[in-house]
Amino acid sequence: MLFHLSTDSPVPIYEQIVGQITFAVAAGDLEPGTLIPSVRDLAQQLVVHPNTVARAVQILESNGLVTPRRGRGMEVTAEAPQRALRQRREIIQTRLRQAFREAFASHLSLDEIRQLALEELELARLPLPERDTTQVRRATPRETP
């Protein structure tokens, strides 16, 4: 499994790890019984502090997605796919709600917010190499002075 962590993201690294593992389980990329590396190995692979990975693993365990396997890492649980589907929706819904609240707080009109959402939906559907993120677009709520 490849992780795409962004230090520029407002989402903490441990939440990015939780989200990406949750999304991979929900999508069927990580099936029940699949082993995820140990905290130490995953921290070395991602070049992050082991405490960051440990925090992510603790959340994944409490969410019922993984269970520790001594000396082997974490194993995706049998219940993980159904739980991950629900959790994936909750994660995305929370992020969208936060973005919409920022947009309203910055006094963008409903039409402007709707247009931004539609533009981003279209960009999100493109494969990564085809996305042109350098083109000039309207300011996002964080960029608005």
Query: 24 CB contacts (<8 Å, ≥6 apart)?
Result: 1, 30
CB proximity list for 124: less than 8 A, separation 6 or greater: none
The closest alpha carbon to 65, from 94, 87, 97, 91, belongs to: 87
Q: Are the C-beta atoms of 141 and 107 separated by less than 8 Å?
A: no
| Residues of the chain under the 70 pLDDT cut | 128-145
Bridge partners (DSSP) of residue 68 are 74
pLDDT score of 2: 80
* Residues 94, 37: Cα–Cα separation, whole Å: 28
pLDDT, tens digit, 9 for 90 and up, residues 105-118: 999 999 999 999 99
3-state secondary structure of 76: strand
Residue 84: C-alpha distances to residues 16, 23, 80 (Å): 14, 7, 6
First-to-final CA distance of the chain: 39
Question: For residue 36, what are the β-bridge partners?
Answer: 74
pLDDT of residue 94: 92
Could you tell me the domains of the chain? 13-81 (1.10.10.10), 106-145 (no CATH)
Task: Give 100's contacts (C-beta < 8 A, 6+ positions apart).
Answer: 113
pLDDT confidence of residue 129: 55
